[in-house]
């Protein structure tokens, strides 16, 4: 039997980690890997020890920012990168697997942390109804490899 690729293993993990999110609107998961090892994981949500949006604001959800996103949450990428940085892991040259392509704010952080590759599942622009994926464009412009993962490879997860 063919062995699964690391891309498939990490993206499947990111999809499963997304389900841990307490966010009402979007659930995003991220896996940060380097040299075939996982450095960190993250999902979108407020900093741990603060809010659980779904439990605190079950009816209308939490307060929204100007772009319609949760005003309390860190994005999955941010949570994954912060955890790695906090624990002194080397993030330089790592690959980030994320279920939604990075927004521009996350793109700036990803670039600054010298993450060299991003593999995403769904387009943030498509999800938000925006014309361009600014985060993806920013990363590509400054030399970070960004590829969209072929969702069909994980078709068993989306039935």
Judged by CB under 5 A, the stretch of 10-18, 47-55, 84-92, 110-118 that binds Zn ion is 47-55
77, 134, 137, 145: the active-site residue: 77
Does 94 help bind Zn ion (rule: CB under 5 A)?
Answer: no
**77 included as an active-site residue:** yes
Does 103 help bind Zn ion (rule: CB under 5 A)?
Answer: yes
Rounded to whole angstroms, how far apart are CA atoms 14 and 67? 24
Does 34 help bind Zn ion (rule: CB under 5 A)?
Answer: no
Which bin fits 99, alpha (ψ -120 to 50), beta or left (φ > 0)? alpha
Does 106 help bind Zn ion (rule: CB under 5 A)?
Answer: yes
Could you tell me how many residues of this chain bind Zn ion (CB under 5 A)?
7
Q: 62 or 119: whose CB is closer to Zn ion?
A: 62
Q: Is 112 exposed, middle or buried (0-12, 13-18, 19+ CB in 10 A)?
A: exposed
Judged by CB under 5 A, the stretch of 71-79, 83-91, 109-117, 136-144 that binds Zn ion is 71-79
Q: 34 or 75: whose CB is closer to Zn ion?
A: 75
Q: 73 or 113: whose CB is closer to Zn ion?
A: 73
Q: 5 or 56: whose CB is closer to Zn ion?
A: 56
60-96: burial string, b at 16+ Cβ within 10 Å, e else? eebeeeeeebbebbbbbbbbbbbbbeeeebebeebbb
CA-nearest of 51, 49, 38, 109 to 77 is: 109
Contact set with Zn ion (CB under 5 A): 53, 62, 70, 73, 75, 103, 106
Active site residues: 77
């Amino acid at each position: 039997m063919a062995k699964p690729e690391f891309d498939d293993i990490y993206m499947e993990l990111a999809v499963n980690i997304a389900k841990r999110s307490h966010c009402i609107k979007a659930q995003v998961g991220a896996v940060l890997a380097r040299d075939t090892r996982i450095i960190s994981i993250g999902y979108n949500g407020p900093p741990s020890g603060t809010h659980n949006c779904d439990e605190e604001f079950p009816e209308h959800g939490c307060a929204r920012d100007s772009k319609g996103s949760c005003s309390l949450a860190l994005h999955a990428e941010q949570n994954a990168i912060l955890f790695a940085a906090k624990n002194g892991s080397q993030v330089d040259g790592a690959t980030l697997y994320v279920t939604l392509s990075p927004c521009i704010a996350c793109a700036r952080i990803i670039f600054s942390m010298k993450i060299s590759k991003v593999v995403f599942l769904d387009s943030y622009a498509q999800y938000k109804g925006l014309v361009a994926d600014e985060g993806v464009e920013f990363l590509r412009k400054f030399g970070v490899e960004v590829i969209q993962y072929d969702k069909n490879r994980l078709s068993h997860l989306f039935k």
